[in-house]
Chain A
């Protein structure tokens, strides 16, 4: 099964601070995604990438930046964290073969105080 590793698992940040969430996948998938999950909203797409050097805005990109320096790594950056960004963040990579399956990491629980 595809391996998607997120770090850190838990993070507490202060308002106005910079936060970087990291994601690494070892399955050579081209597409990677960052979602946030909040009660009542399901999975909302923040940014995604089609490959190294590519980043695209998802449905809720405001307040977030993304970076894809390599096939394996995709980071989500909160330059000025706010309490409204308190959430669980999931990274996913996608097998673009027949299955188009999304493989999710274990998630990062971010609390912004």
Chain B
């Protein structure tokens, strides 16, 4: 299969705390895992990605972890701010070099 499962569907956190979104994938050949952020009324934009030769990647308050054995990857947002409120999509590469998306997580950062 090529499904990507993403949880939770809604995540509410207090400003300044961290937020974590978890995804699992089915295709053991997947080697590219991007994360997209979509603000209300906007289009999705790439915020960070990780390849299968890495286990951890960090940039500007975002951390991505990849566990290939468990076919699991996650996004961690440290010190959340109201501007982090958005829809987040995980994705994994699959057959025919396609990208398969999870169903999204609505992150709400409460002031």
Contact with B along A94-112 (1 / 0, CB 8 A): 0010011110111100000
Given A42-B89, A42-B104, also A106-B98 (CB < 8 A):
no
Given A42-B101, A48-B98, also A104-B43 (CB < 8 A):
yes
Q: Which residues does chain A contribute within 8 Å of B6, judged by CB atoms?
A: 42
- Cβ distance A88 to chain B, nearest Cβ, rounded Å: 10
Size class of the B contact interface (CB-based, 8 Å): 20 to 34
- Cβ distance B100 to chain A, nearest Cβ, rounded Å: 8
Q: Is the CB of B44 within 8 A of A90?
A: yes
Size class of the A contact interface (CB-based, 8 Å): 10 to 19
Q: Which residues does chain A contribute within 8 Å of B96, judged by CB atoms?
A: 56
Tell me the A70-109 residues at the B interface (CB within 8 Å). Answer: 90, 96, 99-102, 104-107
- Cβ distance B48 to chain A, nearest Cβ, rounded Å: 11
Contact with B along A7-32 (1 / 0, CB 8 A): 00000000000000000000000000
A100 CA / B43 CA spacing, docked (Å): 17
Q: Which residues does chain B contribute within 8 Å of A106, judged by CB atoms?
A: 42-43
A interface, CB within 8 angstroms of B: 40-45, 48, 56, 90, 96, 99-102, 104-107
B interface, CB within 8 angstroms of A: 6, 9, 32, 34, 36, 42-46, 49, 89, 93, 96-99, 101-104
